[in-house]
Amino acid sequence: MIGRSNVGKSSLINALANRNKLAKTSKTPGATQLINIYEFGDEDSDRWLVDLPGYGFAKLSKNRQKQMAAMINDYVLEREPLSHAVVLVDANVGPTTLDLQTIDWLRDIDLRFVVVGTKIDKIKSGDRSKKQKKAAEKLQMTSGDIRWVSAEKGTGIPELRSLLANLLSS
Ligand SMILES: Nc1nc2c(ncn2[C@@H]2O[C@H](COP(=O)(O)OP(=O)(O)OP(=O)(O)O)[C@@H](O)[C@H]2O)c(=O)[nH]1
Ligand SMILES: [Mg+2]
């Protein structure tokens, strides 16, 4: 799970696991400052979801920000069994410059990725499809390429869970 701080990475892990407090979440960005690894599926399935710290959290010292960015980059670059990145983008805020940079970087290093649009419950249902289309355009994708979810309401979670199970078994 990769994405800017507060986008909902830890909440998504909890929703996928159907547990409230597995991964620590917080209203204040910077909740996750370590790489936390969760088993996905049955015990001994040998498939893992990795909750990375968020990038771009300006309230951390410059030094700490650099340290965390290096930790994320090193993990993604050096973790050989890593099969996919799940890139989280806040559906309500839309893709930020940092989100676009992350996706460009993943393309550069040739790591496969899935884009998840988070917090769709925050968008009024009447505005949803227009906002989704606009966000997708910014990412040079179509709205259908993006998995739209709400960790809070559970929208799109079963579908994403199946998709990840498929990706992790291929
Ligand atoms: N409305 C709404 N809020 C959400 C949703 N997912 C997460 N949030 C809220 O967004 C805030 C940040 O969520 P986290 O899951 O801690 O975000 P994170 O990406 O892990 O943040 P860092 O660990 O700081 O990188 C919390 O207050 C969550 O309750 C969602 O689907 N809907
Ligand atoms: Mg987190």
Domain ranges of the chain: 9-164
Mutate to test the pocket of ligand 1, among 1, 7, 10, 11 (most ligand atoms within 8 A of CB): 11
Identify the pLDDT of residue 36.
Answer: 92
Torsion angle of alpha carbons 32, 41, 142, 57, nearest 10°? 0
pTM of the model: 0.95
Which residues sit with their C-beta closer than 6 Å to ligand 1?
Answer: 3, 5-11, 25-27, 29-32, 53-54, 118-119, 121-122, 150-152
d(CA 170, CA 168): 6
**Amino acid letter, 136:** A
d(CA 107, CA 148): 21
Q: 9-164 domain in CATH 3.40.50.300?
A: yes
Q: Which residue positions in the chain have pLDDT lower than 70? A: 170
Identify the pLDDT of residue 135.
Answer: 96
Of 66, 64, 61, 55, the closest CA to residue 89 belongs to 55
Identify the pLDDT of residue 58.
Answer: 75
Of 118, 114, 111, 77, the closest CA to residue 96 belongs to 118
Task: Take atom 3 of ligand 1 and give the residue whose Cα is closest.
Answer: 119
Identify the pLDDT of residue 59.
Answer: 81
Identify the pLDDT of residue 42.
Answer: 78
Identify the pLDDT of residue 26.
Answer: 87
